Structure 1
């Protein structure tokens, strides 16, 4: 179990770092390419749009080629996407986003396939949560390492260096492929029609379907926190940029701790659906408290609310993925995870633009956070109703 967790965590870290490298180096790239750094939102939308499609194909690909082989291909796609980004044109950036998204989408379903086979049932929550810390860790590495690489080798060299790291990780994974891919079926058919099969499987399992639909809103909340908090703090709380960045970093750190804590709670004390329901209520409360930020608030209060926001809005993923793996029939964890991630990534694609539209209509980030907080109250109630009906 330790080896499977270590390899899937490392792959997740590198794939996430690759997905966030271009947003981090965007200001430096803008100076040389003339492409506005503000278009980074379009880049992220393309990444997750491609990830939606590729996550659906992941189940069939894992069944035929094995989870490690698919993960290696994902890392190479991410590396190739970063090489394209170094081209510095609008078209190469768009192609880069699509290629990285195609690589990012199957990473989680492939790792779920591995972990579902190697993890005891009573450790699912904490194991999947540990693996999912790779997302904030990858984001943190992008924020810490990429700017230094830009100083050393310019922005193109930074993109190529992270791409090379992805290729190196793909080579390292070859050493464990024989054991982890022993269940692959080379005769398994991969067809366009089979790409939609994970969606059919999701809707055939009511509990998994309901979880998938809820994660559309949970992921939207997560991205609205990480995308807009710094701007909100500088514009409406009047915090200096460095202070706002530090608050976001603390929220991200709380998200890492939250992923581990909620996974442990779901394994030891509370049913996973109940944990997810409480987390939805928690992030709704944090969003509404965030909407009340005022320049008269002490900074320590803003930090505490933001860390609660991070612990809940960033911390739910491991419990959710473990629950999907628990509910999935034997051998179908990867396909069902891919199907549910279609809805999760859809929330990532649509959530921030919807939030931005609400802010634009009201002229207030506070209204945006209050609005999405109200939506999460309804999601928490829906999950709690499922628990009350004995469906957890």
Structure 2
């Protein structure tokens, strides 16, 4: 996830050299997630077929090569777009292969916390991206941030799983998968992810547009990432201590997180900080908990099941930045934040609907078959 959020955090410096506006940033991020949405279902099949060992290594090597290319060859906006899109399929493979690894090899009593740790990757990416503004971009230049990211990726290569074979899965009937409910939940996740992705991508640019120092804006993004990371871990830890109700917690987090986006529309550093804490801490703390719930419901094919939900998440990542960038460029950043708040609120409502469909599906499957 690092390349796309790094591009968002460094957009002030990158756009000054390559020449693009918030709509241009929204377009490149949207295309990134659009490619991810199209790749999600096929990659889910590939991960289930070949296992997480080769797919995770391919993902890490691919993103390392792409970040090196961005640092060396991104001399124009179209080149930046093309190279960033090369990172998209790496994200899909990494996401789904890690889901399979956790589902197969982590004890059930620690699965929630494990998914919380895994999904902490996103706030870690935004944390590193925010810290890169004052520490790297404003000192030695934005290209060095991508080179350092390459080094981190190659270090992660040493930690990829060995000998995990996706073909060892159980073969359950395809009809037992709650595809309809998962599709609704995927739509809800898409609305929430669209608003939350815009938060990570546009926060620094929006704050600078309101007259806040770029260094302070970057540090605020870093702080929000720490809050989001911490609450993802807490959500996972608590999930291991509940017997159910995980999707209900996701819905509540989304509805409360919308308040943080409303605060970002209010001028001033205090509203920026408080809105960032609420939006990251609640509105973007749920992906690990949601994937944990889906895997618990579909242990026979965790990568395939989560790929359905991930289509919605990536679809939201595609539409959200385009819509946010367009609104910000043609209206204002406050109007864009308020629109995002409405999207996140609608996401919470749809998540409740999807949860009820899952309950109904589970009841139907549990009933004896009738002729």
**TM-score with structure 1 length normalisation?**
0.77
Name the counterpart of 1:8. none
Name the counterpart of 2:222. 249
CA contact under 8 A between 1:218 and 1:313: conserved in structure 2? yes
| RMSD after superposition | 3.3
Name the counterpart of 2:39. 54
- Following superposition, the deviation at residue 108 of structure 1 comes to 0.9
CA contact under 8 A between 2:11 and 2:25: conserved in structure 1? yes
Specify which structure has the bigger relative contact order, considering alpha-carbon pairs within 8 angstroms and separated by 6 or more residues. 2
- CA separation of 1:322/1:19 partners in 2, compared to 1, >3 Å: closer, same or farther? same
Instruction: Extract unaligned runs of 5+ from structure 2.
Output: 169-173, 363-371
CA contact under 8 A between 2:128 and 2:222: conserved in structure 1? no
- Following superposition, the deviation at residue 147 of structure 1 comes to 7.1
Q: Secondary structure at the match of 1:268?
A: coil
Q: Does 1:376 align with 2:344?
A: yes
Q: Does 1:365 align with 2:333?
A: yes
Name the counterpart of 1:131. 118
Q: Does 1:114 align with 2:88?
A: no
Name the counterpart of 1:144. 131
Query: In structure 1, how many angstroms separate the alpha carbons of the residues matched to 2:206 and 2:138?
Result: 29
Instruction: Extract unaligned runs of 5+ from structure 1.
Output: 1-15, 186-199
Query: In structure 2, how many angstroms separate the alpha carbons of the residues matched to 1:88 and 1:256?
Result: 30
Aligned with residue 265 of structure 1, among 238, 256, 261: 238
Name the counterpart of 2:258. 284
Within 5 A, what are the aligned runs for 1:1-392? Answer: 16-23=1-8, 35-36=18-19, 38=21, 39-85=24-70, 86-90=72-76, 92-144=79-131, 159-170=146-157, 172-173=158-159, 176-178=161-163, 181-184=164-167, 205-236=179-210, 238-269=211-242, 271-291=245-265, 293-295=266-268, 299-300=269-270, 302-330=272-300, 332-360=301-329, 363-387=331-355, 390-391=359-360
Query: In structure 1, how many angstroms separate the alpha carbons of the residues matched to 2:214 and 2:137?
Result: 21
Name the counterpart of 1:3. none
- Following superposition, the deviation at residue 124 of structure 1 comes to 2.8
- CA separation of 1:381/1:42 partners in 2, compared to 1, >3 Å: closer, same or farther? closer
Moved more, 382-391 or 110-119: 382-391
- CA separation of 1:275/1:69 partners in 2, compared to 1, >3 Å: closer, same or farther? same
Query: In structure 2, how many angstroms separate the alpha carbons of the residues matched to 1:22 and 1:290?
Result: 21
Query: In structure 2, how many angstroms separate the alpha carbons of the residues matched to 1:114 and 1:205?
Result: 22
Aligned residues: 350
- Following superposition, the deviation at residue 29 of structure 1 comes to 5.7
**TM-score with structure 2 length normalisation?**
0.80
- CA separation of 1:41/1:376 partners in 2, compared to 1, >3 Å: closer, same or farther? closer
